[in-house]
Structures are given as C-alpha cells and as structure tokens.
Amino acid sequence: MTKLPTVVAGSEKVTHQDVEQTLPHLVTAKARNYQGGATPIHHHPRAQLIYAGEGVMRVETSAGSWVVPPLRGVWIPAWVDHQVVMLGTVAMRTLYFRPEAAPDLPDACCLVEVRPLLRELIYALVDESLDYDQAGRGGLIAALVLKELRFLRTAALHLPVPTEPRLQKLCRALIDQPDSTETLESWADQCATSSRTLARLFHRETGMSFSHWRQQARLVEALGQLSKGEPIARVAGRLGYRSPSAFTAMFKKAMGVEPSRYFEV
C-alpha cells in the first residue's frame, strides 16, 4: 500500500471538485493522514462517510458537532458545510457517494456505527486505484459497501447547537468552558427572562433538556481529551466533576463502558 503523506489539517488546499468527486463510480474512497489541526469549512457535491482508522476527530456543522471515536463514523449529506477538527494524529478514511447510490440514507448529519465488515470494506476500497475497474474487484467491494450501508445504525452522541441567539451564546460558552457551573436559571436572570421559557426553547431547538445537553457536551470534550491519553482524574477535574469516580459513573451510564476501556478496539 502506498504510504500517505502526513499533513496538518488546514495546510492543504480544499478543492470541492477533487477527482474522487467527478468520477462516474457510485462510490469512491480517499485516505489522508493528519497531524492535528482543522480543515477549512467546506462541502462536497457528494454525500460522504468519514471514518478515522486511527485517532479521533470532531466534525462540526451549523447544526451541531460530533466526536468520531474508534468504531464510529459521521454521515454527511451532499452540500452540507462542515469542518473536521483533528484531536491529535488522525488517519482519515472517507467514502464518497453519488446521489443515486444511497437515496435512502439520512438527509442530515449523524454519528453512525462502523461495524467490522464495513471497516474492512473501507480499507479495501482505499487500497484500490481511485478509478478502479467497476466490473472488477473494486466494483465488487463498492457494491458490498452499498449493501452494508443498508444496515447502518446511528449512534447517540450528538451535540446539537440551538439557533436561538441567547441559547446559542450559552451553549458556545459551555463548549469553551465545560467545567462552568452556569445554570439555566442564572442565564435566564442575565437574559431578563424566565428559566421555564428558556427550558421550553432549549428542548424545542435541540430535542433534549439542558441538563442532558450539558452532559453530552462534557462527554464530547471527555472523548477528545481521553483520546490524547489524558489521565481520567485530570479529565474529570477539567469537566467540573468532584471526583474521578463520579465522572466514571456518568461516563459508563452514558456510553456503556468505563472511560479506561472505551478506546479498546
């Protein structure tokens, strides 16, 4: 397999009409290794599935953000503006799909499970030439990819960002400072409104309660820090938890496994 160059995200020119976007193939693949950084905000004329063979990414859109840990990927429909933030060294593997190839897949960004078979198919298609023989091995791999997409399951770790200005400002502040003790009540006082009004708005715009959203925000931040090898005690402190055990209990309840085991693949 050809060794890929390692770049810092944002240092390469983003071309929306790259070769993999213009080929007649229903599915094309691209591999790129990154050493930190973030891509510019951009979009593609094809839907894509972003997967990290190694490392952890955060995908951001105007609708929210998704942390992409091992065994997960992000589905991004065509023409959706997005930015990918590399939380350390990342081996990104991306599949692009012509519109007619996957008409029944989500029309909004979402975190999805990447099962072992799909993971191996991603690697296999990346190893084929970009303009692979559609009647040969590459074509068979692409056909299997499309079959496997029918069984995609969405994962729950999504951090929607409200559009209402007061709530958006609050959420951005909590993303920047996840250990903040700001409450909806104190924020309502600053905004000269009632906490009940903000709570209704928050649920309407995000589909979750403020407390649930705050926990999701802390989980997103925790995954990014843990992926870089930060000790659990340090992560717990940075997120405002009084003890590592309290953080571990929350993490296990939400993710189904202790933080010390989450990145075991």
pLDDT in tens, 5-33: 455 555 444 444 577 788 899 999 999 99
State the CATH number of the domain containing residue 186. Answer: 1.10.10.60
Q: Is residue 30 part of a domain?
A: yes
On whether both 198 and 240 belong to a single domain, the answer is: yes
On whether both 41 and 116 belong to a single domain, the answer is: yes
Given this model, what pLDDT does residue 18 score?
A: 75
On whether both 96 and 222 belong to a single domain, the answer is: no
Q: Is residue 156 part of a domain?
A: no
Calculate mean pLDDT across residues 112-134.
Answer: 93
Q: Is residue 231 part of a domain?
A: yes
Q: Is residue 76 part of a domain?
A: yes
pLDDT category of residue 265 using cuts at 50, 70 and 90: low
CA angle 6, 62, 153 (to 5 degrees): 75
When the pLDDT of each residue in the chain is averaged and rounded to a whole number, the result is: 85
What CA–CA distance (Å, rounded) separates 101 from 80? 18
Q: Give the CA dihedral 87, 129, 26, 136, nearest 10 degrees.
A: -140
Domain boundary among 149, 172, 205: 149
pLDDT category of residue 248 using cuts at 50, 70 and 90: very high
Domain boundary among 149, 182, 198: 149
On whether both 44 and 86 belong to a single domain, the answer is: yes
On whether both 84 and 51 belong to a single domain, the answer is: yes
Is residue 144 exposed (0-12), middle (13-18) or buried (19+ Cβ within 10 Å)? Answer: middle
Which one is predicted more confidently, 161 or 95?
95
Lowest mean pLDDT among 46-50, 100-104, 116-120: 100-104
Q: Is residue 261 part of a domain?
A: no
Which one is predicted more confidently, 135 or 215?
135
Calculate mean pLDDT across residues 187-201.
Answer: 89
On whether both 80 and 193 belong to a single domain, the answer is: no
Asked if residue 154 has pLDDT above 80, the reply is no
On whether both 19 and 133 belong to a single domain, the answer is: yes
Note down the domain range covering 33: 6-149
pLDDT > 90 fraction of the chain, expressed in percent and rounded: 37
Integer angstrom CA distances of residue 221 from 75, 154, 179, 236: 20, 20, 10, 10
What CA–CA distance (Å, rounded) separates 57 from 74? 10
Q: Is residue 165 part of a domain?
A: yes
On whether both 167 and 135 belong to a single domain, the answer is: no
Structurally, the chain folds into a number of domains equal to: 2
State the CATH number of the domain containing residue 22. Answer: 2.60.120.280
